[in-house]
A and B are shown apart, each in its own frame.
Chain A
């Protein structure tokens, strides 16, 4: 019985993990800004390991760094030069929503992110 439960738990966690693999499209809007910035992530999940890239479009992609998965919560970072983007997202089916912290050498801003799974 314990073995079956263990296998079931493993299968469930794998199923949740598999949800992140694929393309995620959406936008973020920095606090006080008057327009949305497009976002596209291409993620690959292997168990608890997450890799991939993200950026404004498919042609301009930056590697994700320091990825962390904790249940339905996902966190990772992207560096684009002056700016570092720190994402703290929550998975809900085909949706990834949460907060983004943008930091440069002298400024810190926050934003709300909403992504939808494309495929």
Chain B
């Protein structure tokens, strides 16, 4: 963590030490260049994969359109009917969990030991099954989080977001004297790239800054958590252990539909989106989403024993302030904070990051040629 604060401290110290504004500017420029050179390729990876992940649910449904979409009907069948239809189709396999779609034209899913079955919830037709395993989108997410796997990859990406953040700050410093927002198409290649870099950089500063800052917080969540919880005077959510229920007769067990009904009475205005069966975990776990509770809205979980006795209730309204800070941060990073507009904003931010790395590289390449051929001082190329 100390090294996070080392660079700005170094910049301040150097500012005092150099005295000359040109030297300071040159120093900041070199820091900007070095950070870009070190982290550019990883920022491209983060931005490229991030732009895909931004619309992962939509892309996943597009890749599996035959399984994902149904004609919206009036009332869905009961979970018992859906579970029976799926079990019949897959040789009596037990149902592990049900996933209820948020939109009426999306199919429901039933988790089985062999895979995930997709069902038309209005007719009971089993649309097909997806076996568990890595897909293109899974690989993209893995690249975004860990460069494809491993602690080293995760560490490199974490520090690349820090480098990106400092690049933005140093870039703003370098842009400030001229405050240029224009692209002169009739000028030389170098100046066109330079114009593009300056203009896109300043126009996209806010989304890029939010993406980088939220990315740093996500990357260093473990280290930042104690500070956040202390500042918010709160504690991380504790997952309650389920108490074992007293075994009763088979006839007294409730159905998943009854479990959902009980859970909805306990969390009014919320809609169930996931039901875990008691054979898998010991209790019914009904997860509910409350659209009125923002980023924490899907953190409602009611646990019931197989006989309908309430084991635990976790409500989104009780999520601690510290946990909420991290949830908001994640929602900012993914663009989900305000829905489609912010998701598009986040997408534009990732595209801007790609443009900045590419244009920065082009500026550096053309600058090298000029320096090499006519020995133009660095300041003159700015």
Contacts and interface: CB of A to CB of B under 8 A. Distances in A.
Nearest to B240: A59
A32 B141 contact: no
Interface residues of B, number: 35
Nearest to A35: B222
B156 to A, nearest CB: 11
Contacts of B97: 81-82
Given A59-B244, A106-B137, A81 B96 contact: yes
Contact of A32 (B132, B151, B222): B151
B154 A59 contact: no
B149 A60 contact: no
B111 interface: yes
A55 B116 contact: no
B241 A59 contact: yes
Contacts of A58: 244
Contacts of B145: 32
A29 B141 CA distance: 19
The majority secondary structure among interface residues of chain A is loop
A105 B117 CA distance: 11
The majority secondary structure among interface residues of chain B is mixed
Interface in A88-104: 103-104
Contact of A60 (B60, B134, B242): B242
A89 to B, nearest CB: 19
A3 interface: no
B279 interface: yes
B111 A79 contact: yes
Contacts of A60: 241-242, 281-282
Contact size class for A? 20 to 34
Contacts of A84: 113, 132
A83 B138 CA distance: 13
A105 B132 contact: yes
Given A106-B60, A108-B134, A81 B276 contact: yes
Nearest to B98: A81
Nearest to A108: B134
A67 interface: no
Given A61-B282, A79-B111, A106 B134 contact: yes
Contact of A55 (B60, B96, B281): B281
A65 interface: yes
Contacts of A106: 60, 133-135, 137-138, 141
A52 to B, nearest CB: 13
B138 A104 contact: yes
Interface of B: 60, 96-97, 111-113, 115-116, 130, 132-135, 137-138, 141-142, 145-146, 149-151, 153-154, 222, 241-244, 274, 276, 279-282
Given A105-B132, A107-B134, 10 more contacts: A32-B150, A59-B241, A62-B280, A79-B111, A82-B97, A83-B132, A105-B115, A105-B135, A106-B137, A109-B142
Interface of A: 31-32, 34-35, 55, 57-63, 65, 77, 79-84, 103-110
17 contacts: A32-B154, A58-B244, A59-B242, A59-B243, A59-B244, A60-B282, A63-B280, A79-B111, A80-B96, A82-B111, A103-B132, A103-B133, A104-B138, A106-B141, A107-B142, A108-B134, A108-B138
